Structure 1
Amino acid sequence: MGSPLLWNACAAVVLVLLSKGSVSHGAEFGHLPDNITVLEGESVTLRCRIEEEVTHRAWLNRSNILFTGTDKWTLDRRVTLANNNDSDFSIHVDRVQVTDEGTYICTFQANNKPRITYVYLIVQVPARITNISKSLTVNEGDNVVLFCMAVGRPEPTTTWKDQEYGLMSEGEFLDITEIKRQQAKDYECITNNGVAPPDQRKVKVTVNYPPMITDMKNMPAHLGKTAILRCEAMAVPPASFEWYRDDHRPVESDNTLRIKNEKTRSLLLFTNVTEKHFGNYTCFASNRLGASNASMLLFRPGAIQGRGTALRAGASVAVWFSLVVVFLLKV
Structure 2
Amino acid sequence: MIAVRDACFSGHSLTAVILSLSCFLPSCLPMGRTGENKWTETVVTRQGDTALLRCYLTDGQSKGAWLNHSSIIFTGSDKWSADPRVSVVSSVDSKHEYSLQIQKVDVTDEGRYTCIVQNNHNPQSNHIFLSVKVPPKINIISDDVTVNEGGYVSLICAASGRPEPTISWRHITPLAKKYESGKQLNISGITRDQAGEYECSAQNDVASPNTKTVKVTVNFPPTIHEVKATGVGVARSALLRCEAAAVPPPAFEWYRGSRRLTRGHGTDIKTLSSRSVLSMTNMTQERYGNYTCMAVNKLGTANASVSLLPPSSAPYGNSSSTVRSSACLLLLLSSLLCLF
Same fold, TM exceeding 0.5?
yes
Q: Provide Cα deviations, 1:258-283, integer angstroms capped at 9, x if missing partner.
A: 22222212122122221111111121
In the alignment, what sits opposite 1:318? Answer: none
Say whether 1:34 aligns with 2:41: yes
Does structure 2 retain, via aligned residues, the 8 Å contact 1:40–1:123? yes
Note the alpha carbon deviations across 1:111-139, whole angstroms, 9 max, x for none.
54331211111111111111111222222
After TM superposition, the score normalised by the length of structure 2 is 0.74
Distance in 1, matches of 2:61 and 2:127, equals 18
Q: Tell me how far apart the structure 2 counterparts of residues 256 and 218 of structure 1 sit (CA, whole Å).
A: 17
User: Highest Rg: 1 or 2?
Assistant: 2
Counterpart check, 1:80 vs 2:87: yes
- Whether the 8 Å contact between 1:54 and 1:108 is mirrored in structure 2 is no
Task: Indicate how the Cα distance of structure 1 residues 217 and 56 shifts in structure 2: closer, same or farther if over 3 A, else same.
Answer: closer
Which residue of structure 2 lines up, in the alignment, with residue 309 of structure 1?
none
Task: Compute the TM-score of the two structures, normalised by the length of structure 1.
Answer: 0.76
Equivalent residues in 2 for 1:173-188, closer than 5 Å: 173-188=184-199
Gaps of 5+ in 1: 1-10, 19-28, 304-331
CA drift of 1:14 comes to 4.3
Establish whether residue 144 from structure 1 lines up as the match of residue 187 from structure 2: no
1:131 aligns with 2:130: no
Report the more deviating stretch, 84-93 or 266-275: 84-93
Distance change in 2, residues 1:252/1:77 (3 Å): closer
227, 243, 250: which one pairs with 1:239?
250
Q: Determine whether 1:17 maps to 2:28.
A: no
Partner letter of residue 255 of structure 1? H
| Aligned-partner residue type, residue 196 of structure 1 | A
Contact 1:241 1:286 in 2 (8 A): yes
Which residue does the alignment assign to 1:202?
A: 213
Aligned to 1:120, which of 122, 125, 129?
Answer: 129
The answer as to whether partners of 1:186 and 1:202 remain within 8 angstroms in 2 is yes
In the alignment, what sits opposite 2:277?
Answer: 267
**How far apart in 1 are the matches of 2:246 and 2:173?**
23
CA 1:290–1:136: 2 relative to 1, 3 Å: same
Residue by residue over 1:91-124, the C-alpha shift from the partner in whole angstroms, topping out at 9 and shown as x without a partner, is 2212211100111111223354331211111111
Q: Which amino acid aligns with 1:293?
A: N
| Residue-pair matches, total | 281
Task: Choose from 46, 54, 66 the match for 1:47.
Answer: 54
Instruction: Find the aligned partners of 1:177 and 1:227 in 2 and give their Cα distance.
Output: 46
- SS of aligned partner of 1:170: coil
Please give the alpha-carbon distance, in whole angstroms, between the structure 2 residues aligned to 1:217 and 1:86: 90
> Given the alignment of the two structures, is residue 65 of structure 1 paired with residue 72 of structure 2, yes or no?
yes
Does 1:103 pair with 2:103? no
Residues 210 and 165 of structure 1, relative CA distance in 2, 3 Å threshold: same
Q: How far off its partner does 1:212 sit? A: 0.9
RMSD: 2.8
After the TM superposition, which of the residue ranges 279-288 and 214-223 deviates more from structure 2?
214-223
Percent identical across equivalent pairs? 42
Alignment equivalent of 1:226, drawn from 234, 237, 249: 237
Greater displacement, 147-156 / 214-223: 214-223
**How far off is 1:169 after superposition?**
3.0
Q: Which residue of 1 aligns with 2:332?
A: none
Match of 1:285 in 2: 295
Matched position secondary structure for 2:205: coil
Residues in 1 aligned to 2:270 and 2:60: alpha-carbon distance in whole angstroms: 97
Check whether the contact 1:45–1:91 (CA below 8 A) recurs between aligned residues: yes
**Counterpart of 1:175 in structure 2: which amino acid?**
N
TM-aligned CA deviation for residue 285 of structure 1: 1.1
- The one-letter code matched in structure 1 to 2:219 is N
Counterpart contact for 1:15–1:57, Cα < 8 Å: no
- Matched with 2:183 is 172
User: Does structure 2 retain, via aligned residues, the 8 Å contact 1:158–1:192?
Assistant: yes
**Separation of aligned partners in 1, 2:18 and 2:61:** 11
